[in-house]
Structure 1
Amino acid sequence: MRLGLDLFLGNQFQSFKGMRVGLVTNMTGVNEKLVPSIDLFYEHPDIHLAALYGPEHGIRGDAKEGEAVESTIDPYTGVPVFSLYGASRKPSKEMLDPVDVIVFDLQDIGSRYYTYIYTMAYVMEACAEYGKHFVVLDRPNPISGSVMEGNLLEDGIRSFIGLYPIPNRHGMTIGEIALFYKHEMGINCELTVVQMDGWERQMFFDQTGLFWVQPSPNTTGLDMSILYPGTCLVEGTNLSEGRGTTRPFEYIGAPFIDGYRLAKKLNEQKIAGVLARPVSFKPVYQKHRDEVCEGVQLHVADRYAIHSLRTGLTLLETIAEMYPNDFKFVQHNEKYTIDLLAGTKEIKDKILQKKTDEFLECCGEQLERFRKQIKPYQLYK
């Protein structure tokens, strides 16, 4: 298969020859030989790379989650780098003045909570406002484009981890999301999507022949990415989601948990496609830093059978039932984090009342509506 990057550099860049190009990218912007798109653009005789723009974690991926990133000069190319995760998450006029066209080349991981798709939305908005052409170099959805899970974000619950009404596991590529934003969300910029050649919707990332470059410090691999639409909800609780370990979003635990009891309880429920193993771990940062936590590692036994969101909700429901006096939902700026992640305020009660199956049943109608809504923008069979 060939990436949007390959096809753009092959001949599609000709449409923008002579223009000043801005590139939104990070360490995931590489070709099939792992050569960075920054280098490919900078060294190309017919592309004028005038500016770089970095999302959360920075242009080289060395900033932790939530850590502000400063604008700087790229030491390898001397090109100015404007941060899209610092003082502003939307490019200002001054940030776009050096360029005529913005090219977006970032690897998404297929979940609503992941901020790169909202960086793209803000850049598209700015391009619409200041008359810049926006080009997306499409990349695979690593957890396939054939599965969707979850609910649509409710009105009034918008944040940088959930900006538009898309499901937890959205089943789209970054290029398809850009088309959705333009035609359904009204971000009416001049848009070009450079499609991949040879990618099919049912493909997982390890079936593409490409090398995995983790898009952020805690997106460690394919199993983590498959679990993430469900286990990311753990961030909204006082449990460790495994940040600060080698297995984030696969390790789940806390100092008050008995890992053997939890693993036994989860495996008795026969969660489709998942096996739980008791673990003990000590996070080096984030929640429960330097404390011994017991819990489970969730292993993906069958990627085609797993329902990631059901897995995450069953996990939280089980822990809430086992440890009612210890389990808590956490708040940030007087808002429950899990509300922002789940895109609804009802999930807390559903977990505590052991009614998450009821919640998931209600998601079916929303997913069917979303499938019909995005069908015109699906670029791949």
Structure 2
Amino acid sequence: MSIKFGILFIAFCGLLCVGMGQEKVFPGIMDFGKYEMLLKGKRVALAANQTSVVTTYDWVGERKNEPALSSHTLDFLRAKGVHVVKVFCPEHGFRGDADAGENIGDYTDQRTGLPVVSLYGKKKKPAPEDLAGVDIVIFDMQDVGVRFYTYISTLHYLMEACAENDCRLLLMDRPNPNAFYVDGPVLDLKYRSFVGMHPVPVVYGMTIGEYAMMINGEGWLNDGKRCDLTVIRCRNWKREMVVALPCRPSPNLPDEVSVLLYPSVCFFEGTVVSEGRGTATPFQVFGHPDLTDMPYRFIPESIPGMSKNPKCLGKVCYGMDLREEFNEVKDGKKLRLDWLMTAYRNYTGKDAFFTPFFEKLAGTSGLREAIVAGKSETEIRKMWQTGLEHFKIVRAKYLLY
């Protein structure tokens, strides 16, 4: 199926939904009346980034030619008279212009004059002094529903700090574009890291509000503490909806295609193979200079704000263009392991193919070991089914939609 046809198909689905009476989707932040009284007279800290927008964008309908009217959550709250005193930001920074993995220190936001506390780099958890003088924290960020996407790790540490410092957390829920399926190995806590903190599969099929409730309910915070959590639900969103995000959730997820391919293609970050960083199509292609028999070629370049020093910089990489697989991923409702397995089979120096980071992404040593042993995809999937079925039982307790 061509990309053009796939995009037209999505637009048609959106039109069909609207034609059948589908109401417009609203993220939690837009229903100010639901939480206004919780903020009266309160000193508020906002955990946010470039995805924290209040917008007229049509999440599931036809793309309009005219731009959506939008404002940042911070501006929206201040215009409503909310007393915001501080900002917390995750990986990529408050304005979303830092590279993946780039350390960000504390600073003052030039547009507002507010202090910004970075929760990525040396400090991942707010210190007691960071919450001093704060009555309530608002969390409003766009997640993509994948275990190694670090916004949920930032959420964990923020919840933990709020629990330890008697501070309430108000979470503004947003649609998850990968909520329509659950797949992948459940994390073995032996491989716990900032790219995987909880015993969940790679794709967990929950909004970030539902996920926060699960963190609380399953006792995953330090010493089993519970955060004083309130989730403001999305309006009119359903899990099976095709969702197009109003802005890129991080610098290297520029569009719907990259967001849907990301859960499968990100495995290449734990290998010597390029996942397309340093191109206009990150997480939509893969390649390496040694995969000369493969049909697609690209050359990673330094792109400030996206990837300053990408893997295979300046080298011709041979691999695959996955953009034509967009609808197959959506309709198949499962991770694509065949791309990783194909690259491994075609790579000559197999001992060097995987890096130590792979186990952190996969959450287990079993996936790497199975691929090296030449097991089939069917055999590999059987390995994680028991853990996946148990997770689905746990997950069911926290679903809001």
TM-score, scaled to structure 1? 0.88
C-alpha change, 1:73 and 1:31, in structure 2 (3 Å) is same
- Stretches of structure 1 that go unaligned for 5 or more consecutive residues are 264-277
Quote the residue 2:58 is aligned against. Answer: none
Deviation at 1:349, TM superposition (A): 1.7
The answer to whether the 8 Å contact 1:72/1:80 transfers is: yes
C-alpha change, 1:283 and 1:352, in structure 2 (3 Å) is farther
The answer to whether the 8 Å contact 1:21/1:48 transfers is: yes
The answer to whether the 8 Å contact 1:231/1:308 transfers is: no
Quote the residue 1:238 is aligned against. Answer: 272
Question: Which whole-Å CA distance do the structure 1 matches of 2:122 and 2:194 have between them?
Answer: 14
Question: Which whole-Å CA distance do the structure 2 matches of 1:363 and 1:305 have between them?
Answer: 21
Q: Secondary structure at the match of 1:243?
A: coil
Quote the residue 2:381 is aligned against. Answer: 360
* Greater mean deviation of Cα atoms: 336-345 or 28-37: 28-37
What is the aligned counterpart of 1:27 among 43, 50, 54?
A: 50
Where does 1:2-13 land on structure 2 (aligned, <5 Å)?
A: 2-7=26-31, 9-13=32-36
What is the aligned counterpart of 1:262 among 289, 294, 302?
A: 294
Q: Secondary structure at the match of 1:218?
A: coil
Quote the residue 2:75 is aligned against. Answer: 39
Deviation at 1:327, TM superposition (A): 6.8
Q: Secondary structure at the match of 2:294?
A: helix
Are residues 1:80 and 2:115 paired?
Answer: yes
Are residues 1:345 and 2:365 paired?
Answer: yes
Quote the residue 1:98 is aligned against. Answer: 133
* Greater mean deviation of Cα atoms: 343-352 or 298-307: 298-307
Where does 1:1-381 land on structure 2 (aligned, <5 Å)?
A: 1-7=25-31, 9-32=32-55, 33-45=69-81, 47-143=82-178, 145-187=179-221, 188-206=226-244, 211-258=245-292, 261-263=293-295, 278-284=296-302, 285-299=309-323, 300-309=326-335, 311=336, 313-325=337-349, 328-331=352-355, 336-355=356-375, 356-380=377-401
Question: Which whole-Å CA distance do the structure 2 matches of 1:41 and 1:162 have between them?
Answer: 32
Question: Which whole-Å CA distance do the structure 1 matches of 2:281 and 2:274 have between them?
Answer: 11
Quote the residue 2:64 is aligned against. Answer: none
The answer to whether the 8 Å contact 2:198/2:220 transfers is: no
Question: Which whole-Å CA distance do the structure 1 matches of 2:398 and 2:216 have between them?
Answer: 10
Quote the residue 2:22 is aligned against. Answer: none
Deviation at 1:323, TM superposition (A): 2.2
Matched to 1:253, the amino acid is G
The answer to whether the 8 Å contact 1:329/1:338 transfers is: no
Deviation at 1:142, TM superposition (A): 1.2
C-alpha change, 1:291 and 1:326, in structure 2 (3 Å) is farther
* 4+ residue segments displaced more than 6 Å: none
Question: Which whole-Å CA distance do the structure 1 matches of 2:168 and 2:123 have between them?
Answer: 21
Question: Which whole-Å CA distance do the structure 1 matches of 2:298 and 2:112 have between them?
Answer: 44
Q: Secondary structure at the match of 1:305?
A: helix
Matched to 2:298, the amino acid is S
Q: Secondary structure at the match of 2:139?
A: strand
Matched to 1:358, the amino acid is E
* Greater mean deviation of Cα atoms: 245-254 or 295-304: 295-304
Matched to 1:346, the amino acid is G
* Greater mean deviation of Cα atoms: 145-154 or 280-289: 280-289
The answer to whether the 8 Å contact 1:26/1:59 transfers is: yes
Deviation at 1:186, TM superposition (A): 4.0
- Stretches of structure 2 that go unaligned for 5 or more consecutive residues are 1-24, 56-68, 303-308
Give the share of equivalent positions with the same residue, in percent. 36
Matched to 1:37, the amino acid is T
Matched to 1:174, the amino acid is I
Deviations 1:186-223 (A, max 9, x none): 430100000011000101213xxxx5211211011111
Matched to 1:375, the amino acid is A
The answer to whether the 8 Å contact 1:141/1:204 transfers is: no
* Greater mean deviation of Cα atoms: 216-225 or 120-129: 216-225
The answer to whether the 8 Å contact 1:226/1:308 transfers is: no
Quote the residue 1:272 is aligned against. Answer: none
* Greater mean deviation of Cα atoms: 347-356 or 13-22: 347-356
